[in-house]
Each structure stands twice: as structure tokens, then as C-alpha cells.
Amino acid sequence: MRRLWTLALALLLGIGVTAPAQAAVQSRPAIINGSPSAPGTHGYLAALLDTARYNLKGTFQAQICGGSLTTPTTVVTAAHCVVDQNSGVTSTPASLLIGLGRSSLQDSGMRVVAISAIAVHPGYSIKTGDDDVAVLTLVAPQTDIATIAPAQLTDGVTTEAAGTRVQVAGWGTTSNFGNSFPDVFRTGDLTLLPASACGQGQNTVLSGLTFLAYNAGEANPLTMLCAVGVSPTGTIIDSCRGDSGGPLIAGDGADARLLGIVSWGLNCATRHPGVYTRVTAMADFLKATGALGGSAPPEILVTPLHERLRIQFPARGTNLNATTFTATLAESTAAEPRQCSAAPVGNGLAASCDITGLVNGTEYRVTAVATGTAGVSVPSTVVAATPLAVPDAGRITGVKVTGKRAVFTVARSTGNGAEITATRIACLPLAGGPGRSAKVILKRATLRSLPPASYACAVTARSEVGTARGAETLLTIPG
């Protein structure tokens, strides 16, 4: 079945580039011309699996892409692995699984983990291949498996200089046009090419071989890195079909960083280098999705109420590690923080809390963080909301008393932004005791058989925010 995928993926190869007349293909089985993985290395390498195929045929036949475990709950892969290249529709979390912890796809010890959320970079373009990155959130933290930190320009070890030695790893095909998919992932030693060869049209020479540049409009040096390898015997080393989404790694041990994501190329192991998503340029997205560590920011839903705002934290995969959500008003001062906290609720229910003591009609800005085992998340987006006023009650414009019957005419409430759910006339005996009330229909209400007494009558208007009682009109039913 990986053969079928091969056909589909082969179509992806030309994305964003005008295919040149068949470039000279250097390749031998080669990733292409790579080596089998050394045991115990690249523990963060994840296999992206098609759920339906996995259920029918197992891990090996289900593998469609690679990925990297960057935190116990996040796998970074390529957007093109999870976005249908024809419809632009993103895969559902249920349609994909993540295989972890084994170098061999056929190893029954491979751990297969479900996905709770898929986030695709908002800038991802099927047409240009820009921002080819997605973050998959696992349903449960995999704390016993090695992770790799995404490269950041500020981390003190990352360099994207031409000539930097990097490595690619994956279960992709080892031959350009055949279907020799390995069972144990392979690695290839590559060299980063200069940006001038990766979207600026200047060919470059590596180990005596000239590699053909991508022009502007083919590759974007701001969002992509180009890399390729030449083996000691002069064969070209490159990633290929099935390696997509997998890691381009720089540095060793504690300095190892996810520098790139296998994205595209013109065929494989040709004089056209492989193209990788430039991870340092994806930092905002990786941070927002929790893939840089810390927990992802919570999503918030703010409902304005009477003198308060209700903040809901919908239960989400990305907040799995959260133990507390805290919402804070941007208007807070350090001396007087205005905030509220809630513990997450399981089973898809949303946690919520109210920030109280607010002024109706005033706009406030709310932001929230999730706190959990991984520390404090980055803040959520800011949501502005205005606590509602209780409705103005409306007023009595006329009363006509006939015997024990009183007919009221009423000017109704405007609601002050909240929908009025009931308007009534309520009359309370001045001497105390039970009152009487009647629903206002259109602009009229009638109270019948009123016991002789004096009453204070008023309009009451109810909304979700509260009930208001308007100015009183005195009424006497003679005895």
C-alpha cells in the first residue's frame, strides 16, 4: 500500500516549482544513499500513520510521513503531510496516528499514539510550499521518549550558515523511482547550502558537484533551507518520498536541534537539492502551538454578564497538561490584579470562572494562561468584552382602573444589549403581603380581581443579566 502513497506523493514533488526537463539522476538506492540508523539514536523520530490503513495492514503499510517529538505532547511535521493537496482540507485528528519509540516500523514494540489536535501553520500555501509545518498534539504525554528542541535563532547553538553539517532521518524510499521503503529508518549526512542557491538562483558546488539553484518563485529562502549530501564515493544523498515531515537535524547530544522539516525537491538525489522548512522562521507558530515547550496557550471564550465577565476554557488536547487556567484583565494593576482561575474539567467539558466587580458598559480586555507540569504557557489571544447593564425596566405610561380590574399600558425596556426574556407588571400592596403580577403582552397588561388596597406597581424586565424594576405608579382599588 505504500506503493499507492508513492504515486500520490510523487505528485507533491513538483509543488511550487516549474519542473525542468528531467534532471540527470545520480541516484543509487540511497533516505537515498543514506545509512541504516545507528541503534538508540533519533529517539524523537515519529512515524505519521494513516489510521485506516494501520487498522487493516499495520504500521509499515500505514506510514505516510515522518515527524519529530519536540515535547512530550507535540509532534512537528510538514503541513503537506496533513493537508489534502487537492481540496486543501486538513486531516482529522482521528484519521492519523503517531508511531514512536522504535526504529523499525515492523517492531511490535512501536508505540502507536492517538492525536487530539492538528494545527497547520496559517501561512501554509499548497501552491508555493511556504510555511510547510504542522503541529500534532498527542492525547497523552510521552514522557519516557527523547524529544528534540526546535532550533531558535536565540538558543546559542543554532546556525544556518552554508556548510553546516546536518542530518536527515526517515523511513522514506531509498530509490528515486522505485518503491524500496525500508523497515528501519535511515539517515543521510547532508550539508546546508547557501540561501543564494535556495531561491536566489545561484548554483553552488559541494564536494566537486555543482548543484542547481532554485530561483526566486521556486524556493523562498526566508521560509526554506536547501540541503544535500555527497557520499565519499560521490553519490548524492537526499531525502525522498515518505521522508516528508521528518527532521533535518543540526548539532549533537544536548545541542541537537530540529533545524528543518523535509518538505520537497525535484525528484530525489538529483542536482536539485532537497528543500526543508526553515524551523527558525516558524518560531511564533511553534510557540503558539506548544511545540517549543511550555504548554500551549489556552483558548478562551468570554461571555459578558452583569458587572462581570465569564471566561470559559474549552477542554482541548493542547491543554492536556494544564492544572490551572488563569484569566487576567489587561486593565489590572500589579497592586490589584483582576483575575480568576479554574481547574480543567475532563470529558470535553469546559472549565470556567468569573471576573467580578466590573463596571457595566466599560470594555475590558481578557487574556489567559494555562499552568501545568511544563510551567506557564504563553498568553492566549486577547479578547475584549463589555459587561452588560441590567436592562432599563421600561415604564408604565397609563393605568385604567375599572372596579377591581387594572389595565396598564407600558413602554418596554430596550434591554441594554441583553435580550429581554420577560416583561411583567408587578404590584405590591403598600400594607405588605403577597403581590400580584401579569405578563405584558404587546404593550398591555391586565390585573383582575385585585383585592381592595393601595398598590405600588412597576414594570419588571428580566434578561440573562438580571431583573430590573422600573419607577412605581401608585394605584388604589376602592373597597
- Contacts to ligand ARG by CB under 6 A: 9, 12-13, 172, 238-244, 262, 264-265, 268, 274
Closer to ligand ARG by CB, 168 or 366: give it: 168
Considering the complex, what minimum distance in angstroms separates the CB of residue 281 from ligand ARG? 19
Q: Which is nearer to ligand ARG, 10 or 56 (CB)?
A: 10
Q: Which amino acid is at 36?
A: P
Give me the least distance between CB of 317 and ligand ARG, in Å please.
25
* DSSP structure string for 98-154: EEES-SBTT-TT-EEEEEEEEEE-TT--TTT-TT--EEEEESS--TTS---EEP-TT
Minimum gap (Å) between residue 415 Cβ and ligand ARG: 56
Whose Cβ is closer to ligand ARG: residue 172's or residue 394's? 172
Least CB distance from residue 83 to ligand ARG, whole Å?
12
Name, in order, each residue with C-beta under 8 angstroms of 479's C-beta and a sequence gap of 6 or more.
452
Q: At its nearest, how many Å lie between ligand ARG and the CB of residue 171?
A: 10
Non-local CB neighbours of 168 within 8 Å, separated by 6+ positions:
31, 34, 187, 188, 190, 227, 239, 243, 246, 247, 248, 249, 262, 274, 276
- The residue type found at 170 is G
Distance CA 117, CA 93 (A): 6
Residue nearest to ligand ARG (CB): 265
Beta strands in 174-214 (DSSP E): 186-192, 204-206, 209-211
- Min dist CB 225 to ligand ARG, Å, is 11
Q: Among all residues, which ones are annotated catalytic? A: 80, 132, 244
- C-beta of residue 459 within 8 angstroms of C-beta of residue 409: no
Nearer to ligand ARG, 272 or 306 (CB): 272
Q: How many CB atoms lie within 10 A of CB 36?
A: 12
Nearer to ligand ARG, 172 or 391 (CB): 172
Q: Which of residues 125 and 303 has its CB atom nearest to ligand ARG in the complex?
A: 125
Nearest approach in angstroms of CB 109 to ligand ARG is 25
| Residue pair 457/438 in contact by the 8 Å Cβ criterion | no
Nearest to 33 by CA among 263, 239, 185: 239
Q: Please name which of 246, 240, 248, 233 lies closest in space to residue 270, comparing C-alpha atoms.
A: 240
**CA-based torsion, 428, 433, 434, 436: positive or negative:** negative
* Rounded Cα distance, 91 and 2, in Å: 18
Q: At 347, is the secondary structure helix, strand, or coil?
A: coil
DSSP state of 17: S
Q: Which three cell numbers stand for residue 222?
A: 526566508
Q: Which is nearer to ligand ARG, 210 or 414 (CB)?
A: 210
d(CA 357, CA 308): 6
Nearer of residues 12 and 389 to ligand ARG, judged by Cβ? 12
Q: Nearest distance from residue 238's CB to ligand ARG, in Å?
A: 5
